[in-house]
Structure formats: structure tokens, C-alpha cells
Structure 1
């Protein structure tokens, strides 16, 4: 089994002049310091020129009495912008800021400023619609192609789509694909690893009820034992597991394949920078979220899910697929491919009624991967793993029992 044993990073202390006053390192580039509006002294000078003693007097002489309020509004006294900012800051200081250790597939991340300003906050990217006209959407299509390639490189699969709504939805779509392509036609049961995230299990349960599938939630080691493998058309496993444990899924996947069932892996994409990719374990479908690649938490969403599979199942894949073609002049061009799978073409016969994608977030993830490059992504993953090792050692030193044998970034104690 390939574990998370990552090379130790060089954690030599940063060279900082110890006598430099901290005040000189403070960020003073606040907007208020560059604001072009008048300050208090300037306002008083203008009022004096007008022969007035307050802004209220100016309003009284400017607004006709017929439309002016006959009584003052129940508001606190007026504040300047710096005073308002200071008051808001004093309220914010009453909050108790704590770190979140919930995780379960979603983690705080850093969006590089160049991506934040030029993509996430750029209307040309965040207001753009489905690229049905590829001739005016080549930039976005190329970025989505990069996203697909990023997913393929990390998962070890043959084909990826241009994102889905979230990891849980992608898992439900993978279950539907498994039923469509499994050669075990009589099977109507789907296995769910009990170590899958609870939100993933909830969405799978909802979709399974609509399809009238039997759902079996349990331990993968029971497949072929207390769980009849011949009754399964597919199964899904979490990698790494919800409790953080790293497991080689090859044997579980092999048992499913022996009974013509489809093996699905829900994988943490950041961990795949260090771990054995699911494709090398024999997985038929790999799904997950790319939120860790520079997409803000956003109080729970939205985030782009990824969906990768084998080339044999390309016509059963949900969502958009970006492909490479040539224009009439023979030049390379990008377009949406295999569109006859989708709802805007096949209507009720489409692979999925979800004919959309999280394109903005997928593009941010693709840009994040290009910004850091393969080595940069690997370094981030190594740092995450190293910090988790330090945490584990600290807990062990306090006589806490760590239940994980191998882990990437999550431990259970």
C-alpha cells in the first residue's frame, strides 16, 4: 500500500531582522488613506465659506420643506468614514475567532491575488454563459480543457468532464452511470462505504430512492462475504477515508470487477499529489471536489466537482466535456464534445438532467494548478501532510491514542 510518507520539508527559519519594529511591517495601504473624499477639517472649511455651522444646516437650506421629514430619524449621530470603520472594527473585535477542524472534504484555502482579481472578480469570467458559441469562447474553453487535464493527471483516468455541481452530486451521478454501464443487468443494489462523507451518503440515498435502488452501507471488507457481491451493480469508496485512514482499495475494486460491478472512488484531489491515483488501483470512476485548489469556502459553496472515468464509458458521462478540434482554416480550436449525451440535445433521454457545471470555480482550480505548477502543488500537499504529522506527534506526546496507521491530512484520536 502506498502511504502518505512524504519527504520532510526544509523548515529553516526565515531570515528576519529581529530589531525591526513591528509597526514598520504593518499594512498601511487601507482604502481610507487613499480616499479622495473630504476630511473633517475640509468639510468645516467649506461650511464656513457658505456661512453654515453644520451639514444639517446645509441640508435644511437645500431640501425643500415640502418633502423634508417633519421629525428627525431615530439614528445615532453622523460619523465620518474612519469613525464608522473604527466602530465596526470594535464590534468585530468582540467575535471569538476559532479555527475550524471539521473538514469532511472542504478546507480553507488561499486564492492567489492574480486569480482573485482577474478571474473570480472579473465579470468577463463570472457572468459568462454556457459556451454554445465556441468561436467567441476559446479562452474559457481552453481553461476548462486545462481543468480536465489536471483531473486526469491526478486521478490516473482516461477522460474527465468540465465539472459538476459538488462532490455529493457527482457521487450520485456516478451511481447512475454504474447502473447504465454495468454488465450485471440483474443487479439492483449499490454499495456505499460507511467511511464516505455524510453529505455524500445523504445525496446518494435521495437519488437511490428515486431510482428504486437498494442501498447497502457498510464495510468494504464485507463485500463478497456478508454482502453478496453478485447483487451489486456498483460501489463507492472514500479515499482517504472519512476518519483519515489510507487504504489500498485494489482488493475491494477487484471483488466488484469479478461480479461485473463498477468501482467508484471519491478522492481528495490534493492528496492525489502524493498518493497512488485511483486509476492505478483499477477504479472505473473517480469523483471529488476541486475546492482545495484555490476556491474560497463561501460558507459552504459553490464548489466545482470533478468526474473522471475510463474511455469506454465516455458516452455515459454526465455534464459537459471539452474537446479539441480544428476550424475551417485548419487551426486548433476548442469546443464542447459529445453533446448528444446532454439534456439540451436529448431532453428526457439525456444521461443526466443536470446539464450544467461550476465553470467559474473549475476555471479557478485550473488557474490555481497552473499558477503553482506540478511541483508547487506537490509541495503544498507535502506541507499539509508534514503539519499533520507534527500534530499527530504532539497528540501522542500527550498520551493521546491515534487510531490511524497511515494518513494524509486527517487523524482520528
Structure 2
């Protein structure tokens, strides 16, 4: 798809040929390391303009320093979250809720949903999360000496937990993962088709739950009230689509990147086996090293930001994978140090829109690593195979074949 021309207000010297979608290491690459590839931006200016840095070919300002990203993400008066990422694939303009709402509406819906994914609620879910991890790792250990980790473990593990939360049947797991893959990593034909399919599914599920309530997330949403009223159909859709999409890809990808790292670093793998209490801080370092999401804001007014003439309507990219490799924030940022102290990483974002599901995601990652390491012997990437990584709005990994023969 053609890139947009550089706006007239952007100085030519601030334009840089960089994209989370098409730069070296971002396109699907065997044995790729897209996180290391993006770290190269720290050798340049702290903020620059990329002519192509969204899926639909729009340019963005790229904020490289973690402290500057925090300023952007905490300033909802200047930088809006409403850009209809999902709806735009349909040629529509409605927000995913609460991700794409600005204050004060954001806080109303955030307060509604926070209890569903609070630390207390996650503790209630933890037994089911661990039970699922144990069942999968036992099956893998009993079935041979290698597996395709994404297909056999990370997706069946994380998506099953999410489906239970949403109240959906597990037998449709592969179908849902396929939709998410087309939406997040597909081309300009697959993406709108997947978006239409997901919207139709969420709308139908909401309709069913209005008639046949159950003890699940969608029933809660269709029965919920904000400011003394029931939610509109569009609001129900906006919440349902966000939770559906967010639960299908990001945590599975995170665990995949973690296991790929441990497969390539047997000393760290053995260290976590011998001292499993180290897995919790190690998971934080792996979240720092391998985050998966780019966040984009839209300037609501003209502002000169760190020397950049950002104008109303400009897109501003705050990529977690860039912030987490900031040498001003982290000592030796490209070195994975599983015992790294004071790890203020940006994997879940900053400010009012900090990831609603971060508590559940953390527990899934830790439990997944604990149960995998408890049952699977010393593993490595299978000879003759190569995991394929990609950049984009959400970073991904597939074809991760691990072997412990």
C-alpha cells in the first residue's frame, strides 16, 4: 500500500526511513530478532518522523525515549487515544472500549471493567490457569520429544483461559486464533474480512446473552450500567471486540518469545529450572526484552515536543519495544539479564490506558514458564528448523519447534 507523503510541517531532516512494519527484521524472518532490530533507533535522534509506520500506510512521529513516551501517554489532553484502529478496517469510526476513549468517558468504562481483571480476580482464576498449563505440558511431555510450541502450547494455553473468561467454547479455539492472525498479521484483504467476522460474532454473542444470561464476561457487559443507563449496542461491541482481540495473540506471542530465548540460552534455562523462585523476576526481564505492542496517539492540538513540530491530527507512535531498549532507562538494554533489578519496563504501557489485563497476563506468563520448565527436559530449537518472527502493530513469532530428544 502506498505511503502518505510527508506533511509540509515536518522538517526534511527529521524524516527517517524506519517502520515497525517494513524495516529490516520486521517482515516475516527466519531466526529474526525484531526487538534487537528496532533498538537501532536509539543511535539516532530522540524523535523523528516515519513516513510509513501504521498498517494502513500512515506516517507517525516516533518517540524513542522512555521518559518522553511516558509524557505522551500520560497527557490525554494533548494526545488522544481515539483512532478506531479496528473499526477503520471496516471503514467505520467507533472506539474499542476503554482503549480508544479519552477522559472523562475513559474513566467511566475503566471503573466498570477494572474489577473483572483486578489482582483479586486473577487470584481466583489462577487455579484454572495452572490446571490448563499442567494438562498441556503433561500431554506434550508424554507425546514425544519435540513440539510446535505456538500450536501445541502457547495458543491453547492462553486462548483457553481467555475463552473461559469470555464464556466461549474451547472447541472453536483454532477458529478464533485464525481470525486474530488474519486481523493482526494479515494483508489488506484478510484484515477487513477478519474484522467483519469478529464484529458479527461479538454482536451475535451479545444478542444471545441478552436472551440467555450466563456466568460470563459478555453477560456482565450486556447487563452492566454506566451513569444510570444500560450500554448501547456500539459500546457493547467496542468492549467485546477489544477483549476478544487482546486475549488472542499478545500473551501467546510473549511466551513464545520467552521460550525461544531460553531455547537459545541453556545456562539461563538451567538457572530457572534449578531456582524456580527466580521465574517471577525473570518474566519481568523477558517482558522488558520482548514486548509486543505499539501504541499510537493522535495529537489534539499543535505542540512543539522536544523540538518536533507536532500538529493537530498527527499520529505519534509510542512503541513498547523501543522504550524498553532505551539506554537512558536500562543499563545494557540489549543484554537479557534475568535478575535485572528495578525493572521499570513499558510492556504494559503507561498512564490511564495502562493495559487492563496486565495482572492476568503476568500470571499466565509466569505459570506457563513454571509448568513448562517443570515437565519439559532441557530444550533447544530443533535442528533444521527456524522460528519466524515479524514486526508490525503487534510483534509475533511462529514455527517455533522445540526439541528435547
Normalising by the smaller structure, the TM-score range is: under 0.3
Q: Flag the structure with more relative contact order, 1 or 2, with Cα contacts below 8 A and sequence separation at least 6.
A: 2
Greater fraction of residues in helix: 2
TM-score (norm 1): 0.24
TM-score (norm 2): 0.24
Greater radius of gyration (CA): 1
